[in-house]
Amino acid sequence: MRHVLSVLVQNQPGVLAHISGMFASRGFNIDSLAVGETEVPELSRMTIVIRGDDAVLEQVRKQLSKILTVVKVQDISSMNYVERDLMLIKVRASASQRVEIGQLVATFRGRLVDISPESIVVELDGQEGKIEAFIELMRNYGIIELARTGRIALVRG
């Protein structure tokens, strides 16, 4: 089962290393990890996606709660939440392919952010399935480079 954890931590050096080290030392895999400052500059929010049963989730929550720099751990998986990924993808694009690729980008509500004689860079955000579908379509043109953020999420309301 997939679990999305929202973890508030103190915004200070070494917190990410400490938390990722906890996961590694206990043999837990992180599917996705995104970290950024919150509306309170002293706090950062980590959005961590893990897979496992309820026992794994409970163990992870207990271990995270023991870390002094962790302020709050919340499993938002069963709540009504919004999640997004962000991707930049550089694709081979001849002059004759640019219109076709541009139409695909528009269909997926992406943005062309760079165009060179031999390639284009597209920015796309959305849920994981949308990102994956766009990647599959771009394989036909030739993906040069790909960079993705981890998932970010907030509870609605």
Per-residue pLDDT of 13-60, as tens digits, reads 999 999 999 999 988 999 999 999 999 999 999 999 999 998 989 999
More confident of the two residues 53 and 143? 143
**Please, what is the average pLDDT of the chain?**
95
Q: What is the pLDDT of residue 42?
A: 96
Helix ranges restricted to H, 42-97:
54-66
Residue pair 120/45 in contact (Cβ under 8 Å)? The answer is no
**Range list of H helices, 1-147:** 15-25, 54-66, 98-107, 128-139
Distance from C-alpha of 1 to C-alpha of 3, rounded to nearest angstrom: 7
- What is the per-residue pLDDT for 32? 93
What is residue 51's predicted lDDT score, i.e. its pLDDT?
A: 92
114 in Cβ contact with 120 (< 8 Å): yes
Which pLDDT value is given to residue 145?
98
Distance CA 121, CA 71 (A): 38
Query: DSSP secondary-structure letter at 1?
Result: -
pLDDT at 15: 94
* Angle 56-60-46 from CA coordinates, rounded to 5°: 130
Predicted pLDDT at 48: 96
**Domain annotation for the chain: domains and CATH numbers:** 2-75 (3.30.70.260), 83-155 (3.30.70.1150)
pTM equals 0.84
- For the chain, report the end-to-end CA distance as a whole number of angstroms: 25
